[in-house]
Amino acid sequence: MTNYMSRKDLTLFLGFSAVVLLMPLWLAPFGAGYPDLLQRFMIYGIMAVGFNILFGLTGYLSFGHAAFFGVGSYTAVWSFKLLTLDAIPALIFAAIVSGLFALVIGFLCLRRSGIYFSILTLAFAQMSYNLAYSVLTPITNGETGLQLTLSDPRVLDQVTGQTFVGQPVPTLLGQQLGGFTGFYFCAFFLIAAFFFAQRIAGSPFGMMLRSIKSNQTRMQFTGFNTRPYALSAFVISGMYAGLAGALLAVTDPLAGAERMQWTASGEIVLMTILGGVGTLVGPVIGAWVIKYFENILSALNDNILARFWSFLPDGVADVVVKVTSKFVGDGWHLTLGLVFVIIVIFLPGGIMEGVRRIGAAFNRRRGGTPDRATQTQPAE
C-alpha cells in the first residue's frame, strides 16, 4: 500500500474516512446527527468532489452541473420503476446515462473556454430544465415530479418474486435504506468518490488537467491534444453529479425538474468556492457547511432568537431580534450571499486557505518559514 499511495495521501484518506464514518457521533452535539441531514452531506459532498475535478483541477467553470444531477435522479427513479427497487442497478444506470449525457454536452461545450464555456453549459442546463418541464413531461412527469407507485412494472422484482407492502421504497439486497443504513450507504460512495478523486489528482492524468488549467495554449504548442483530457474530466465530473443525483433519489425517491435549475448549479459553485477550490477536502467541507447552515439557520425563528438574545436589555433585544431575524429562517440565503461575497473578496481560496493562513501565522511565530498561499487561476 505504501508504494501505491504516498504516506501523506494515505493519512489524508484515512483521516477523511474516519471523519465521515464517525459523523453521527461528532455531529450530534451540533444538532446535525440525524440521518436525513447526514445523507445530504454525503450526496452533496460527492457532487462537490466531482465539480472540483472540473473546476478546481481543470479550470473550467461550469454553470450547468445541476443538469447531470437531475439526469442521474431521473434515471435512478426510472430504474426503480421499470426494473427493480434495488439501489445498485439504479446507481450504475445513473452513472452511465449521466456520463453519456456529459459526453455529448462536454464535446460541444469544450470547444470554447473561459466565460463562453460557462455560458454554453448554462444554456444546455437551462434547455434541459425547460424541456423537463414541458415536452419531456412523459419522462419527467413535469411539475409533479417523478415518483414511485404501486403499479410500476418492476420487471426484475416480478421475476425474482419480490413483493412489497405499502409505498415502495428503494432497497439494497432486500434491506431498506432508510435512516443510518442509508447514511452509511451514501458514506461508502463519498469515500469511494474521494479516493478516486485523490487518485486522479495524483496521477499523470491529473497533472495533465492541472496544466490545462495553468496554460492550455502552451500545452497545445508542446504537442499535446488537450481536448480529450478536458473531456474526460468533464465526463467524470458529470458522472459524479449523476451518481449524487441517483443517491438523492435512493434516499428520497422523488425526482423533480427544479433539481436541474441553474440556481442548483449555482449552489454547487458556492459550495466549491466556499470550501476552497482546487483542494481535495475543501469542496466537501463547503458542501457540509452550506447544507448544515441551510438546515440550522432556516429552522430558526423569532422565538428562538428572542430566547438567545434575552440577556440583553429589553429594548435592545427587540431590535437585535428584528435585525438578526432577517438573516435566518427564510432569509438564510442572504447570509449565504454575504458570506460568499466576503469569501470571494478576501479569501479566494475559501475555508481551506483560511486554515492554511492560520497555520502559516502559527509557523511564523515559531520561526518557521511561512508557505505562500497559492491563488487559483482558471483557464481563459
Partner 1 sequence: MFEVIFLQFLNGLDKGAAYALIALGLTLVFGTLGVVNFAHGALFMLGAFTAVTVRLFLTMETVTIDPTQLSPWGQPLEVREPLVQAWLGDFGGVLVNYSVPVSILIAIPIMLLIGIALERGIIKHFYKRPHADQILVTFGLAIVAQEVIKSIYGPNPIPQPMPTDLRGAADIGAWLGMQANIITYPIWRLIYFLFAGIVIGAVFAFLQFTTFGMVVRAGMADRETVSILGINIDRRFTIMFGLAAVVAGLAGVMYTPLLPPNYHIGMDFLVLSFVVVVVGGMGSLPGAVLAGFLLGILQSFASMNQVKAIIPGIDQIIIYLVAVVILLVRPRGLMGRRGVMES
Closer Cβ to partner 1, 192 or 341, answer by number? 341
Closer Cβ to partner 1, 246 or 271, answer by number? 271
Cell of 131: 424541456
Q: Give least dist CB 113 to partner 1, A.
A: 6
Q: Check residue 113 for interaction with partner 1 (CB under 8 A).
A: yes
Question: In 178-295, where do the E strands start and end?
Answer: 254-255
Residues 33-52 that bind partner 1 (CB under 8 A): none
Residues 60/110, Cβ–Cβ less than 8 Å: yes
Question: In the chain, where do the E strands start and end?
Answer: 146-147, 171-172, 175-176, 254-255
> What letter would DSSP give residue 176?
E
Q: Which are the contacts of 180, defined by CB distance < 8 A and separation ≥ 6? A: 24, 35, 38
Phi, psi at residue 278, to the nearest 5°?
90, -15
Closer Cβ to partner 1, 61 or 71, answer by number? 61
Q: Check residue 127 for interaction with partner 1 (CB under 8 A).
A: yes
For partner 1, the binding residue among 22, 82, 115, 150 (CB under 8 A) is 115
DSSP string computed for 320-367: HHHHHHTTSGGGHHHHHHHHHHHHHHH-TTHHHHHHHHHHHHHHHHTT
How far the first Cα of the chain sits from its last, in Å, is 39
For partner 1, the binding residue among 337, 359, 368, 370 (CB under 8 A) is 337
Binding mask 130-159 for partner 1 (x = CB under 8 A): xx-xxxx-----------------------
Closer Cβ to partner 1, 10 or 373, answer by number? 373
Q: Check residue 380 for interaction with partner 1 (CB under 8 A).
A: yes
Question: Number of residues in contact with partner 1, rule: CB under 8 A?
Answer: 43
Cell of 26: 461528532
Closer Cβ to partner 1, 44 or 262, answer by number? 262
Measured CA to CA, the distance from residue 343 to residue 352 in angstroms comes to 11
> What letter would DSSP give residue 83?
T
Closer Cβ to partner 1, 337 or 359, answer by number? 337
Residues 244-283 that bind partner 1 (CB under 8 A): 262-263, 266, 269, 273
Q: Which residues bind partner 1 (CB under 8 A)?
A: 61, 108, 111-116, 118-120, 122-124, 126-127, 130-131, 133-136, 262-263, 266, 269, 273, 326, 330-331, 333-334, 336-338, 340-341, 344-345, 348, 377-378, 380
